[in-house]
Amino acid sequence: MEKNLICICCPRGCHLTVDENMSVSGNFCPRGAKYAIDELTHPTRIVTSTVKVNDGSYSVCSVKTASPVPKEKIFEVMEEINKVELKAPVSIGDIVIKNVLNLSVDIIATENIELVK
């Protein structure tokens, strides 16, 4: 059975077709082919959110999973993210949670938060 998907790897959103032999067409770049196969076998997503920061220039700091996590784990990952509180300063790339849920993926900060006394 042919399957139609929309690639979500970048905003271009290519329309992909996967045939019975798992060969992919419609992708503008190689990432689309990998996405289609992954999506049909084990779908994953990057999760982005915010965590609470104390003494910072803002009260929350944006974070992301450093690489995609299994789609069915998104809400569990969110629960872990929501448990964390940071203390300013925070720098882009700081590890906020190491190896979240043993998925071999870190949660990292995606913005700088300055210390405000």
Q: Give the one residue of 22, 23, 29, 42 binding ligand SF4; rule: CB under 6 A.
A: 29
Task: Compute the distance between CA of residue 7 and CA of residue 87 in angstroms, rounded to an integer.
Answer: 37
Q: Does 10 bind ligand SF4 (CB under 6 A)?
A: yes
Given the rule CB under 6 A, which of 28-36, 43-51, 70-78, 83-91 is the region that contacts ligand SF4?
A: 28-36
Task: Compute the distance between CA of residue 39 and CA of residue 71 in angstroms, rounded to an integer.
Answer: 10
> Which residues within the stretch 33-92 sit at the binding site for ligand SF4 (CB under 6 A)?
35
List residues binding other proteins (CB under 8 A): 6-13, 15, 45-50, 52, 58-60, 62, 64, 71, 74-75, 78, 92, 110-112
Measured between alpha carbons, how far is residue 56 from residues 20, 53, 85, 114 in Å? 53, 6, 11, 5
Q: What does residue 33 show for φ and ψ, rounded to 5 degrees?
A: -65, -45
